Amino acid sequence: MGLIVREILVSLSLMPREYQLPFELRHLAYFREVARRLHFRKAAEALAIAQPALSRQVAHLEAALGVRLLNRSSRRVELTPAGAALLERIEPVLAVLARVPADMKAVAEGRVGRLRVAFTGLAMATVLPDILRGFHRQFPGIRLELNESPTALQLAALQAGEIDCGFFHPDGPSPGIETTLLLRERNGVLLPSDHPLRARKALRLRDLSETPFVLFPRANNPGFYDRVLAAFASSGVAPRIAEEVWPRSNGVGLVRAGVGAMFAAPSEAKHLPDKVIFRILAGPAPESRLVVGWKREPPPQPALAALLEAAARHAAA
């Protein structure tokens, strides 16, 4: 026993402090096999090692821990309370370690992982559900952390590395950010179903000069906000702004309540609540643009690359 302890101390002196454990993984594996079978010969056969070598390894572990793990006699082997407790603790550890090679291969191939994804209301109301449906079908092992967020915050989060990709509305190129265009549509308007012009299939902004509008705060998406003001200016109309709210669902709720009208892309107007109608706009109208964006450097890890590929396939369909 003294020789075993000296061997342990010599081994420990050569290791960095954080790795200075008085035993090795193989000692745990050998002990588990004996503990499962309660028979040294059968355990040695299963491990394909000599029985005396197995006995020495178990004795080494007992010396390292300073407790007896097994009661041995000529007829039987029994677990001590300490041995039973150790077996309970190492079973999940060894099971996790056994899965490491397959798990790491799956991560490297982009079949498992975690992605932090931000989106706007327009994305969720149009292209994102179909992208996610196809992605989950192909990559069920990748967990998505989804968070609704306005464009300005998404761009800041991308630059800070707080999200992996975002579905947002670009004003123009952003340094270090790559994008793929997913949607580009002229807006129409959402109106309360009892609006005086509800019978008309198409409207112009000047027709709505007396109608208040619900807009998003400019800070959330300056480009779209400015396109809205430009459309009003081109129509010779001064906008009447009733409220500026976020997210999109709140704006739709205010339209439903009769507070005013709201701009919307035709794709997001396919599923509307009752008491809300959609009408196309003739003449000047703002345009919605939706992209998926990610940091150029470092290159996308496999799980992110798989999601970006799914989005690109949807855009090309």
Per-residue pLDDT of the chain (317 residues; tens, 9 = 90+): 455 545 544 454 555 676 677 889 999 999 999 999 999 999 999 999 999 999 999 999 999 999 999 999 878 999 999 999 999 999 999 999 999 998 888 878 778 889 999 999 999 999 999 999 999 998 898 999 999 999 999 999 999 999 999 999 998 888 999 999 999 999 999 999 999 999 999 999 999 999 999 999 999 989 999 999 999 999 999 999 999 999 989 999 999 999 999 999 999 988 899 999 999 999 999 999 999 999 999 999 888 998 999 999 999 88
Q: Which amino acid is at 154?
A: Q
The pLDDT of residue 152 is: 92
The pLDDT of residue 1 is: 47
What's 300's DSSP letter?
A: P
Q: Which amino acid is at 284?
A: P
Go through the domains of the chain in sequence order and give each one's CATH number: 2-104 (1.10.10.10), 112-183+290-316 (3.40.190.10), 188-285 (3.40.190.10)
What letters, b where the CB count within 10 A reaches 16 and e where it falls short, cover 158-182? beeeebbbbbbbbbeeeeebbbbeb
Range 4-9, long-range pairs (CB < 8 A, 24+ positions): 4/59, 4/60, 4/63, 5/63, 7/60, 8/60, 8/63, 8/64
What are the backbone dihedrals phi and psi of residue 300, each rounded to the nearest 5 degrees, phi first?
-55, 135
Both tokens assigned to 221: 């998406």
